[in-house]
A and B are shown apart, each in its own frame.
Chain A
């Protein structure tokens, strides 16, 4: 009883703080065993391994094989993609899932990957694990993607389709007129007109530009 009174049990915050202080003391104490060169070299090698490993793992999650590893993607959106021009066309150049759905620039990519943790949650708890559930949620899922494309001025489209390289004389008259009126003037961005270019559309009532 008296022991407990003398040394009251510390809270978790105080214990954590003590641990941090102890760790800090270890970190700032100069090494008395390894040479400076060995430490620098070891740090460099470890850095290469960790950074390279991190990016390799990141790129592994950025492949179509990874995306279609889950049946939610394979049986719904990937199946729909197959009949569109982004999967099959005359030249055989095609877009894979991450080409359109993951930003190519590193910082944005990491941000998107963090958001994707919610998709892992959705997979684990089966939020769209049947076709009916997927169809019910399709509008919400599509709205997220449309908002993302609208916010970044259809960046993922423009990674391949640049307005500068677009030869409107090779386009059909309709496309040529529409691109000159709306794309080149900056009045609209790709996703404003090209919704449903790679997947089936949800219920479009109330979506601007649709009936």
Chain B
């Protein structure tokens, strides 16, 4: 008898909990308050970061981000607009950083004379940045701050 009433109470509690969940929805930084079974309005598009000033890398192996707009830049079998500034022979006129020598290496570790086909499509790794506030927080800590914690007056 006690068991039966306990099941009923539990069931009522479950239904109440699930209905309140459905009504509330899940609020997350990326989705906003839109219920999970609906599609919310798209956030407005934000402008491209276009300062042309290099950004520091968060870790040494990070592909550097593109600090300028790349709207309409064609990168395909016919041509690579990025390389018309970043190729070795073009950096004199453009004053852009040259694509690193690692991009000349094929998958057998052999260095070719120019960019290897597997490293040809720049935006597979390098991406431009938008001016926007990140919707989710990030507690990433730079390795240098771990190795050398700031200690004013202390021993380095």
Contacts and interface: CB of A to CB of B under 8 A. Distances in A.
Interface residues of A, number: 20
B81 interface: yes
Given A203-B78, A204-B79, A172 B72 contact: no
A174 B52 CA distance: 6
B102 interface: no
A173 B52 contact: yes
Interface string A166-210: 000000111001100010000000000000110011111001011
Contacts of A83: 72
The interface residues of chain A, by DSSP majority, are classed as loop
B68 A201 contact: no
A159 interface: no
Contacts of B77: 203
Interface stretch (B21-29, B83-91, B146-154): B83-91
Interface in A103-138: none
A204 B77 CA distance: 9
Interface string B36-66: 0000000000000011110000000000000
Centre residue among A84, A85, A209 by max chain B CB count within 10 A: A209
Contact residues on B (Cβ < 8 Å of other chain), bracket: 20 to 34
Contacts of B87: 211
Contacts of A182: 93
Nearest to A174: B52
A196 B80 contact: no
B114 interface: yes
Nearest to B94: A178
B116 interface: no
A173 B51 CA distance: 6
Given A172-B52, A173-B52, A209 B90 contact: yes
A85 B114 CA distance: 32
B44 to A, nearest CB: 14
A201 to B, nearest CB: 5
Contacts of A209: 84, 90
B74 interface: yes
B69 interface: yes
A207 B84 CA distance: 10
Interface in A32-89: 83-85
Contacts of A202: 78
B72 A200 contact: no
Interface of B: 50-53, 68-69, 71-72, 74, 77-81, 83-84, 87, 90, 93-95, 114-115
Interface of A: 83-85, 172-174, 177-178, 182, 196-197, 200-204, 207, 209-211
